[in-house]
Amino acid sequence: KAGVTQTPRYLIKTRGQQVTLSCSPISGHRSVSWYQQTPGQGLQFLFEYFSETQRNKGNFPGRFSGRQFSNSRSEMNVSTLELGDSALYLCASSLSGTSIDTQYFGPGTRLTVL
C-alpha cells in the first residue's frame, strides 16, 4: 500500500507570492491533517479535512487555507508569503480522524521564503 505523498518536495518562493502544496493520503483514508514544523516551534497544527469539509482548525492567520477533494486528496494554500512561513509542511492521513486513529505522515514539503 502506497504511503502518503506530498508534492512538491521543495519550494523556493519570495515574499508576497502565494504557494499551493498537495497531499495524497493513503488509499482508503478520509481524514487529512496539515502541520507546520519549524525548529523553534515544533509541530503546529494547521487544519484537518474530512469528507471535503474542514473539521478542525489551528491558530494560524487566514493566509493559510486548504481544501479537500472528493478523492480525499488535499491542498493547502498560503497567500502573501512572509519570511516566517519558511518551514517543513507536513501532511498526515488517517482512516477517519475519530476515536483512536493513527496518523501517517508524508515526507513533507520544504518551503523556503526569500
| Interacting residues toward another protein by CB under 8 A | 4, 42-43, 45, 48, 55-56, 88, 90, 92, 97-108, 110
Instruction: Please identify, using beta-carbon distances, which residue of 26 and 113 lies nearer to another protein.
Output: 26
Question: How far is the C-alpha of 59 from the C-alpha of 32, rounded, in Å?
Answer: 17
Min dist CB 53 to another protein, Å, is 13
Decide if 111 contacts 54 (C-beta within 8 A).
no
Give the strand pairing for 109-113 and 10-13.
Answer: parallel
Which C-beta is closer to another protein: that of 74 or that of 103? 103
State the minimum distance, in angstroms, from the CB of residue 74 to another protein.
Answer: 15
Q: Which is nearer to another protein, 92 or 113 (CB)?
A: 92
- Smallest gap, in angstroms, from Cβ of residue 87 to another protein? 12
Residue placing its CB nearer to another protein in the complex, 81 or 89: 89
Q: Is 70 exposed, middle or buried (0-12, 13-18, 19+ CB in 10 A)?
A: exposed
Task: Give the 3-state secondary structure of residue 78.
Answer: strand
CA angle (34, 14, 43) in 5-degree steps:
25
- One-letter amino acid of 56: N
Least distance in Å: CB of 24 to another protein?
13
